[in-house]
Structure 1
Amino acid sequence: MRKIISPLFLIVVITSLLLSGCFGKKDKANGDEKVAVNPAGVFPIVDEKVTLKVLVHGNALIENFETNEFTKWYEEKTNVHIEWEVVPQKGAKEKLNLILTSGDYPDVILNFGVSPTEQLVYGQQGIFLPLNKYIDEYGKETKELFRKYPKVKDVITAPNGNIYALPRINENYHGLMGQKMWIYTPWLEKLNLKMPTTTDEFYEVLKAFKTKDPNGNGKADEIPLAGATTGWNMNIENFLMNSFIFTNKTTSNRMIFNEEGEIDVVFNKDGWREGLKYLNKLYSEGLLVGETFTQDKDQLKQMGDHPGVPILGTVAAGIPQDFADIGGDRWSDYETVPPLKGPNGLQVTPFDSYPMANGVFIITSAAKYPEVAFRWADAMFSEEITLRAVHGRPDIEWRWAEDGELGINGEPGKWKKLISFGSVQNSHWYQTGTHIQDEALRSSLVGEEGNIESVLYNETKEKYAPYQQDPEKMVPPLFFTEEQANELATLQKSINDYVGEMVARFCNW
């Protein structure tokens, strides 16, 4: 006689098998089971190694993200392995847009500076994950960041209350006034010229650089003025336009407050047109090279590091390591040009009252382990990991300050660099990822004569701070409503691309 198995018995057996993992076991590798994440502040982040796929914006000063010393150290500390997809700087934005429309997303998008508008649009579509619950549960360092900088939380919070991206804070003195122009001073000395202070004087200096063979090789190979389309403040218009109309490219894509206190744009104003005429004059006389409107910063650096005689006279850049090798001697012969007084007397330094890069770290809907990804980014806000990520290994690339050593601000120092900063290396991530370098940390760097940080601090204090714009007159980074964001997602790119194209075309007219 056949035995009849009761339904209750089957339920008990199947439940036991499920609990024991012998039946229907979930595969962590396919993301079907949540991995156990250790509490905030506890390392490693996970006891069993987890892999994240990270799409990262390339950096010319990093040899290889995969073999980088910080990458290896951070993997050992966190137990999180990274599969990198590195996107070259040139065309990076277009590549990201293609990926976001393809549906084939990485776990993490890193260092692309995704705009608030894009964050909201893709967040509403479910492609970017809200980070709020991860901040609540795991955001040890993020909460400390918000405590120190309440404005940061306001700026990165979308109108719907969600936070879709973590920023990078880089509150250094020279970065607060980052739009700079650099000039090769041996050429000024050879031609018996003074540092230019007005747009007319600047024009005369450039003309002398072009026609009087300042590098002394008997060839007309001098490049009086150049810039690039990528890199920090390397767009030529960012510096020169402020002599004709205050141009807020620092925080909000050329938006300004007009005389009525309303938000307006600069590129339909008479001052902008006068600035374009000036740029056209420089270009038409061969003082501003055409490559300025097409080359990236790596190509510009080839001009600055030209073998043999120098050929680059003046260059727009926030920092000299973007146009010359800090490991060499040539960069130290460049000094900053102060804000140039324009024909109507305007002489102004834009001031970045929001010293942060927005849209640096994003988790997508493809992430198998979003809690792990968030903890991986959150921990980088800590001081120790920031110093390792940005400057390298302690006692190799940097060390803690000794008694009596002073920082670049004249106060007691906290840390000191042991090698020059700004050369191609493989020990750290340079300015990639989430970290916080506040003004106190940056200014507590032990200063030395000729040290790049000391140079930047002093040049900014002496030449740019006296003309600093009132921070309250700077338009902050803006979020928009969902309806506005959907419209702006298309309009913003079209308008900015058009303005950039027209600047180049009017200069080349």
Structure 2
Amino acid sequence: MKKSAALLLSTVFALSAVMSACSKEQAGTSMEETQGTEASATAANVNPPGQFPIVNEKITLKVAVKGSSLVEDLNTNGYTKWLENKTNIHVDWTVLDEKNFQEQLNLLLAGGDLPDVIMNLDVSPEQQMIYGEQGIFVSFTDLIEKYGENTKKIFKEMPEVKSAISAPGGKIYSLPYVNDCYHCSLDYKMYVYKPWLDKLGLKEPTTTEEFYQMLKAFKEKDPNGNGKQDEIPLVGGVATGSRPSKSEIDVFLMNSFIYDDGYKRMLLKDGKIDAAYNKPEWKEGLKYLNRLYKEGLLDRQTFTLDKAGLKKIAENPNTVIAGAIPAHSPSDITIVEGESGRWLEYQPIAPVKGPNGVQKTTWLAYDKIRQGEFIMTSANKYPEATMRWADAMYDFEAQLYSNFGVEGSSWEKAKPGDLGRDGNPATYRLLVPYGRVQNENWAQYGVNYRTDKEYYAGQAVLKQPDKEKMYYDVTKKNYEPYKPSIDEIVPPLFFPPVDAQQLADLDKTINDYVKTSIARFVTGDLDIDKEWDNYVQTLDKMNLKKYIEIYQKAVDAKK
């Protein structure tokens, strides 16, 4: 599957290169070039910013979007209906598979039957640059200035957002998705079943050796008390899409040896880019993980389980069987506020110190800003209306509908005396917990502007424990002290087409090989001591040097 996907992506980029010569004539070019022809004809139907509905005569937008297991039907969804009533814009949905959406997107782009909007499909900066230069993706730059009332407000409140999404030349091919969630920025946590620690008289581990001893105790001392050795001391999971899983096993523990960002696994020091995965410290981290695996402390399902599989293990009926699971939050592995109560019993421990004193946590400093979530194609006949439609989604009331559901059913306005998590008057009450399968909201899809102050702190605290406050407090205590400097974090980068096309192949080839090798080294399929040199040499043959040079060039340009 990976080889065919890589071949398909290469074919798409090759086809795009062929198309680029004629794209300005055939595909419709930049917004600036269409402003005086087709665009102006539709602009007359669009009301001024701040006035609703957006269009006087109803229009339909064809939108390609990734499916969500938490949303029953986008066509009949409560937020879809509310947004259509407010804007007078109907949506014709093309819902792509939640797991294979990337391949399906490549086919859409290669086939030429473009939707008007590509939404929540994680279009990479490389793809944005390539298709943007060809005019297949339309720049929002001028549209934001004329119609982006809320978007400009975001740029003013968070200047880093505009910087992160702006390609060279100031072109903006994707509207921002902002989720300023504090506990999400320090996201690679290790959840340990606290009642087992208490029963065995163990303290939270503070070193890799203490972590190892804890897992041995989980395996050998029957902490669930059923007389069987059915405990799973440690288990992780894998990603199902292009975004990394916060349950990947290497990240939390590798940070006890060398910094692991959980994504490209790259280092930045004194403005210089380098790879983490060919360093001696990386090798030592793999040897530690292999030790856990060989001794049966790391479960064999770790490299095949998805989020649903992990939740099934953590919520095993009647008997607790899992001791430690890396995850973003309890909602990844348990049923929040569920009957089992395990969402409170699994508690995240602080990063553990490695043999050489390394003790870090992954800081997703720029992860609050997601790129490639809302893109307009050259097939779109309603650019002005599309800009206003997206901009309307940034409104705070729209965010409540988008992420929670219908007012009065899933949320309601705060009542007198309601206080938020920061002790100030609350703005809204949440009536139903997030994370259930439903048909009222888009489950955090669309475009978002969720600020820590307004969206998270503004929610009324109606009962204890309050999960968001709990997440905030434990992140502040256990993870904030171990985050790296901002100068060590690779910022969002754009690459010119000449580099982007080369980078697309290098990026997939190298990172797929690294991820596969992690699994093979940890499971013992590859002997670390015997095969390490060959592994490093293979990376060199894959042109890792050129890969790093391209990144360095983009980092230097960012400065």
- TM-score, scaled relative to structure 1: 0.88
Equivalences for 1:199-278 in 2 at 5 Å? 199-230=208-239, 233-249=246-262, 253-258=264-269, 260-278=270-288
| 2:398 alignment partner, one of 385, 407, 419 | 385
Q: CA deviation at 1:425?
A: 2.4
| Aligned pair partner of 1:280 in 279, 285, 290 | 290
Cross-structure match for 2:7: none
The equivalent of 2:346 in structure 1 is: 334
Residue 175 (structure 2) pairs with residue 161 (structure 1):
no
Contact 1:197 1:339 in 2 (8 A): yes
Aligned length: 477
Partner residue of 1:308 out of 312, 315, 318: 318
8 A Cα contact 1:421 1:452, kept in partner: no
Q: What is the CA–CA distance in structure 2 between the aligned matches of 1:211 and 1:365, rounded to whole Å?
A: 62
CA contact (8 A) 1:229 1:296 kept: yes
Does 2:509 match 1:494?
yes
Instruction: Between 351-360 and 434-443, report the one with greater CA deviation.
Output: 351-360
Name the residue aligned to 1:34: 42
SS of the residue aligned with 2:373? Answer: strand
Q: CA deviation digits over 1:216-239, x for unaligned, max 9?
A: 334433322222222652222222
Give the equivalent residue in structure 1 for 2:92.
83
User: Where does the alignment leave 5 or more consecutive residues of structure 2 unmatched?
Assistant: 1-37, 525-559
Of residues 376-385 and 260-269 in structure 1, the stretch that sits farther from structure 2 once superposed is 260-269
Matched to 2:350, the amino acid is P
Could you list the per-position Cα deviations for residues 101-120 of structure 1 after superposition, in whole angstroms to 9, with x for gaps in the alignment? 23232222111222212211
What is the CA distance between 1:313 and its match in structure 2?
2.0
**Distance (Å, rounded) in 1 between the aligned partners of 2:501 and 2:436:** 41
Distance 1:454 1:87 in 2: 35
Give the letter aligned to residue 248 of structure 1. D
Deviation digits for residues 478-503 of structure 1, max 9, x if unmatched? 11222211211221122221211111
Are 1:248 and 1:475, in contact at CA under 8 Å, matched by a contact in 2?
A: no
- Aligned-pair CA distance for 1:60: 2.5
Letter aligned with residue 98 of structure 1: L
Which residue identity lines up with residue 324 of structure 2 in the other structure?
T
Amino acid at match of 2:459: L
CA RMSD after TM alignment:
2.3
Q: Which residue of 1 aligns with 2:457?
A: 443
C-alpha contact 2:166 2:172 (8 A) present in aligned 1: yes
Distance 1:66 1:188 in 2: 48
1:71, 1:102 → 2: CA distance? 28
Q: Give the drift of 1:152.
A: 1.0
Q: After TM superposition, give the deviation of residue 143 of structure 1 in Å.
A: 0.9
> Displacement of 1:280 after TM fit?
1.5
Greater Cα shift, 141-150 or 44-53: 44-53
Contact residue 191 and residue 349 of structure 2 kept, 8 A:
yes
Structure 1: 5+ residue stretches without partners: 1-29
Which is further off, 71-80 or 361-370? 361-370
Q: Which structure 2 residues correspond to residues 20-419 of structure 1 after superposition, within 5 A? A: 34=42, 36-230=45-239, 233-249=246-262, 253-258=264-269, 260-328=270-338, 329-354=341-366, 355-419=368-432
Contact 1:243 1:346 (C-alpha < 8 Å) held by counterparts: yes
Higher deviation after alignment, 171-180 or 361-370: 361-370
Residues 408 and 457 of structure 1 are in contact (CA less than 8 Å); yes or no, is this contact kept in structure 2? no
Of structures 1 and 2, the larger Rg is shown by 1
What do residues 403-429 of structure 1 show as CA deviations (whole Å, max 9, x unaligned)? 443322344433332222222222212
Instruction: Measure the CA separation in 1 of the matches of 2:329 and 2:126.
Output: 28
Decide whether the 8 Å contact of 2:164 with 2:369 is kept in 1.
Answer: no
Q: Partner letter of residue 144 of structure 1?
A: K
Query: Matched residue of 1:461: which SS?
Result: helix
Aligned 8 A contact 1:62 1:430 in 2: yes
Asked whether the equivalents of residues 224 and 312 of structure 1 are also in contact (C-alpha less than 8 Å), the reply is yes
Alpha-carbon offset, residue 33 of structure 1: 6.5
Q: Work out which of the residue numbers 468, 483, 497 in structure 2 matches 1:453.
A: 468
CA contact (8 A) 1:304 1:323 kept: yes
Using the TM superposition, name which of 465-474 and 70-79 deviates more: 465-474
Distance in 2 separating the partners of 1:471 and 1:154? 16
Tell me if the contact between 2:268 and 2:487 (Cα under 8 Å) persists in the aligned partners.
no
Quote the sequence identity (%): 47
The amino acid of 2:460's aligned partner reads: V
1:467 to 482, 487, 494: 482
Separation in structure 2 between the aligned mates of residue 97 and residue 352 of structure 1, nearest angstrom:
27
Q: Distance in 2 between matches of 1:335 and 1:100?
A: 44
* Helix, strand or coil at the partner of 2:104: helix
Amino acid in structure 1 at the alignment position of 2:209: D
The answer as to whether partners of 2:331 and 2:343 remain within 8 angstroms in 1 is: yes
